[in-house]
Amino acid sequence: MTSPAPSDDSTVDGSAPDLAQCASFALTGHYLGGARPEVSEPGQLLAVLRDHGWTPQRLAALRDQRHHDGQGWPMALPIGVPAPGGFARFHAWVSEVVVALNLDSRDAGVRDASQPLDAETRRLMADLPPHYGSAG
């Protein structure tokens, strides 16, 4: 998953981004400034983000704003930046951070099965394609 980025594909110090840098970009839209922290688990990244001013509340506000604007969160890495450890491992790791922050889908307003269907969902479920029932 890649997208155009507001910055180039290197970190603040000009080197290739590591796991912490890429995860920071996915969550905040910015690479971490300063020395590269040793990050091997989500809790460590949360502490580093907090040290850079990214509290869970600020991340929640960013997530909500991006969803309101019709944009994805966490954000895609810039074009040309490989996901550290591979695409699947990186996104699984970022997902662990999102869950640790309590910013997963339920909090984001995603409908779950216990909620009643709204009028738009009922309309879409009742809408059948023109060829429905005429096959064969």
- pLDDT tens-place string over residues 3-39: 434 444 455 556 677 888 899 999 999 988 777 777 8
If one compares 7 and 46, the residue with the highest pLDDT of the two is 46
Number of domains observed in the structure of the chain: 1
* 71 within domain boundaries: yes
* 134 within domain boundaries: no
Please state, rounded to an integer, the average pLDDT across all residues of the chain.
79
* 132 within domain boundaries: no
- Contacts of residue 44, defined as CB under 8 A and 6 or more positions apart, other chains included, come to 37, 38
- Residue 53 corresponds to which tokens in the numbers above? 């001013």
Q: Is the pLDDT of residue 77 over 60?
A: yes
* 133 within domain boundaries: no
Show the domain range for 33: 2-126
* 109 within domain boundaries: yes
* 90 within domain boundaries: yes
Across the range 46-57, mean pLDDT stands at 92
* 135 within domain boundaries: no
* pLDDT at residue number 104: 78
